[in-house]
Amino acid sequence: MLNEQDYFKFVKEHFTNISSLIINNSHIRDYCPLCKATMGFTIETIPLQREHMHFLYKMPQPLMLKCPMCNSFKIWIIQNIYVQNSDGEGHIERYRILAIPKNESQIPELPDHPPGLRRAYTEGINCLEANCPTAAAALFKRALHLITRDILGANPGTLTSEFRSLLSKRNKLGMVIHEAFKENSYLIRESSIIKRDGTFDHDILQYTEEDALSLHEMFIELAVMLFVLPRTVQEARNTLSFRKNDII
């Protein structure tokens, strides 16, 4: 048996903090494996009666997240934890303690080469689910380097420098990386750590849970742009070609 303080400590140590994914009280940012894109899922929950509101920070809360495009849904069980700041103000941290179905750990459209790409991404997801954000961030970062260096042809450097070298010009796949990646919170933080001589001395133990989620989101967006959409377009072209031949 656990008292309330020990229970909250257990939740913080063993489950994923999803606070940074919350857009507002009605939307949460997550990846839709059917639409193959990061979406602002709508949040539907069971409203609590006023006399039961005190349970909001004591008991896990079920949320149904619905994709705005395909209307598919998933269910998350979250625990709200109220944290008081040093200035006397407080904020809410939200931890996901169960996901139905479990987060997708594979993207079929990922290429087989370089051979470590699928493994780095899959193990990164497993680490994220096991509440090991430091390991997850390191694996997602490694997976991104495999794309930028081995697939897109960037010269080895920091992730920030590699993305800068790829922006607004054609890479080895003949595609152009858009400017939106500049807004990724990990790249912004990494930019602030890079020294004047271009070196980057960052202890892996300094990776945060926010880093892990930011790197994961960046990987998903890049994978969709480079691998998922081209294959989807090609499949659509093939389907239209078959229909055209049937008409003729």
Per-residue pLDDT of the chain in tens (248 residues, 90 and over written 9): 678 888 888 888 888 888 888 888 889 988 787 777 778 899 887 665 565 556 666 788 888 899 988 888 888 888 888 888 877 788 888 888 888 876 656 778 888 889 899 999 989 988 887 778 899 999 999 999 999 999 999 999 888 889 888 887 888 888 888 766 777 888 888 877 766 555 566 677 788 888 888 898 889 888 888 888 877 766 666 666 655 555 55
152 and 48 in a single domain? The answer is no
CB–CB of 184/217 below 8 Å? Answer: yes
Tell which of 61, 89, 104 closes a domain.
104
| 55 CB neighbour count, 10 Å cutoff | 13
| Residues forming beta bridges with residue 22, ordered by sequence position | 28
Tokens of residue 66, six digits? 């619905």
H helices of 54-199, in order, are 116-129, 133-145, 159-166, 185-193
Domain identity same for 142 and 83: no
Within 8 A by CB and 6+ apart from 31, the residues are 37, 38, 39, 104, 217, 220
Final residue belonging to a domain, choices 69, 85, 104: 104
Last residue of a domain, one of 61, 80, 104: 104
Q: Mark whether 136 and 245 lie in a shared domain.
A: yes
Owning domain of residue 95: 1-104
CA distance 11 to 59: 12
Same domain, 1 and 113: no
pTM of the predicted structure, to 2 decimals: 0.65
Q: Rounded to an integer, what distance in angstroms lies between the CA atom of residue 219 and that of residue 141?
A: 8
Tokens representing residue 44 in the block:
């539907």
Same-domain pairing of 239 and 118: yes
What are the distances in angstroms from CA 111 to CA 82, 90, 213, 229? 43, 45, 22, 13
In the chain, the number of structural domains is: 2
For helices 133-145 and 209-223, give the axis angle rounded to 10 degrees: 30
d(CA 79, CA 128): 17
